[in-house]
Structure 1
Amino acid sequence: MTKQELALQYFPDATSETAVRHLTRWIARCYPLAQALAGTGYQSRNRTFTWKQVTLIRQYLGEPATAS
């Protein structure tokens, strides 16, 4: 899943750039999530998430309101 797709699920009323910025900030501010993602090889400049990374994000941040 692209970072943009996931970010827009969490921030559906934002532009794609703003949504990505917000999601990246949320990840950085949630230290346990950032550590868990780092363990999967995630780096903030990545443009896509693996299924494991998406699962971790949803585990720590909750399901987005617009999740399909």
Structure 2
Amino acid sequence: MRTDETRYAEWPVRPYSKRELAMAYAPEISPVSALNRLAEWIRYNERLFRELGDTGYRPRQRVFTSLQVELIFRYLGRP
């Protein structure tokens, strides 16, 4: 079992491509399916979606900023 400290070291808050982060959350499925799953999680988590919007997030962007990654980790946990 990984400790929180290990998770923080493995997944520091920094910019990530959407594909990279999606594959981290769902490594067992195809990249396209992982991207769709992450997009769905974001879309259906109203608070996360709203807070991401406040940072300038747009669904078509290809890279999450550090601030956006921090929010995703807060709401979805680290991969």
TM-score by length of 1: 0.91
Q: Cα RMSD over matched residues?
A: 0.5
Query: What CA distance in whole angstroms lies between the structure 1 residues aligned with 2:58 and 2:36?
Result: 14
Query: What CA distance in whole angstroms lies between the structure 1 residues aligned with 2:28 and 2:58?
Result: 26
Higher share of residues assigned strand:
2
Letter in 1 for 2:61: N
**1:61 maps to which residue?**
76
Runs (4 or more) in structure 1 with deviation over 4 Å come to none
Deviations 1:2-54 (A, max 9, x none): 00000001001111111000000000000000000000000111111001100
**2:50 maps to which residue?**
35
Query: What CA distance in whole angstroms lies between the structure 2 residues aligned with 1:14 and 1:39?
Result: 30
Identity of aligned residues (%): 42
TM-score by length of 2: 0.79
Is 1:47 the counterpart of 2:62? The answer is yes
**1:11 maps to which residue?**
26
Q: Structure 1: 5+ residue runs without aligned partners?
A: none
* SS of alignment partner, residue 25 of structure 1: helix
Q: Structure 2: 5+ residue runs without aligned partners?
A: 1-15
Whose Rg is larger? 2
